[in-house]
């Protein structure tokens, strides 16, 4: 069984590294995309912020059916309000602040909250904790895209820098 504290610490690392990657990327190139049809660097970072706000916000507010057609409309209530072309420093700060706020709110929930069964995206039955794991994995996917873009610019991602510093 996954302990909540361990999960929250792991998610904090994922979000913090994504925010650091935004700060590391050349600020004048935040709208960079390596190929047509892919999300830009900024779009990936914004998606981490906004999807996390919406999915975790809905969980905290008691949503039980993420497969319902109306759930996408509910996302709007959790919008960060950050300007579309906000500088990377503001975007990174918003990512960190949002992550901290959501983790604090989750930490305050009783154990029963995380064990409750809900309908996840696609309608599959899962616990709230499993839904949170999905959110973290979703953020990891977009963080990986951001790290690839960093590499394309010749920048070493924060996780690799941390690993190299231990040697």
pLDDT higher at 129 or 167: 129
The structure tokens listed for 60 are 């905290």
Quote the pLDDT of residue 2. 74
Nearest in space to 82 (alpha carbons), one of 71, 70, 97: 97
Q: Is the pLDDT of residue 100 over 90?
A: yes
Nearest in space to 53 (alpha carbons), one of 131, 111, 135, 162: 135
For residues 25 and 156, the answer to whether their CB atoms sit within 8 Å is no
The structure tokens listed for 79 are 């919008």
Q: Is the pLDDT of residue 49 over 70?
A: yes
Strand-pair partners of 126: 118
Given 1.10.1200.10, 3.30.930.10, 1.20.140.10, 1.20.120.450, which CATH number is that of 4-165?
Answer: 1.20.120.450
- Mean pLDDT for 64-90 is 95
The structure tokens listed for 115 are 């064990």
Q: Is the pLDDT of residue 165 over 90?
A: no
Quote the pLDDT of residue 166. 84
Per-residue DSSP letter, 136: H
- Mean pLDDT for 63-85 is 94
Q: Is the pLDDT of residue 1 over 80?
A: no
Quote the pLDDT of residue 128. 97
Quote the pLDDT of residue 103. 97
- Tokens 């900024």 correspond to 42
- Mean pLDDT value across the chain: 95
Number of Cβ within a 10 Å radius of residue 139: 24
Give 42-98 as a DSSP string.
HHHHHHHHHHHHHHHHHHHTT--BTTSTTHHHHGGGG-----TT--HHHHHHHHHHH
Candidate from 9-13, 74-78, 160-164 with smallest mean pLDDT: 160-164
């Amino acid at each position: 069984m996954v302990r909540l504290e361990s999960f929250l610490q792991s998610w904090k690392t994922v979000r913090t590294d994504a925010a650091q990657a935004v700060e590391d990327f050349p600020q004048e190139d935040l709208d960079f995309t390596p190929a047509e049809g892919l999300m830009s660097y900024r779009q990936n970072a914004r998606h981490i912020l906004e999807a996390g706000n919406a999915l975790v916000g809905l969980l905290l507010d008691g949503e039980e059916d993420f497969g319902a057609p109306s759930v996408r409309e509910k996302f709007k209530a959790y919008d960060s309000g950050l300007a579309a072309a906000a500088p990377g420093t503001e975007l990174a700060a918003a990512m960190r602040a949002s992550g901290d706020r959501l983790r604090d709110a989750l930490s305050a929930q009783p154990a029963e909250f995380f064990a409750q069964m809900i309908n996840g995206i696609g309608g599959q039955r899962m616990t709230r904790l499993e839904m949170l794991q999905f959110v973290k994995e979703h953020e990891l996917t977009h963080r990986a895209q951001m790290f690839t873009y960093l590499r394309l610019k010749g920048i070493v991602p924060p996780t690799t820098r941390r690993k190299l510093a231990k040697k």
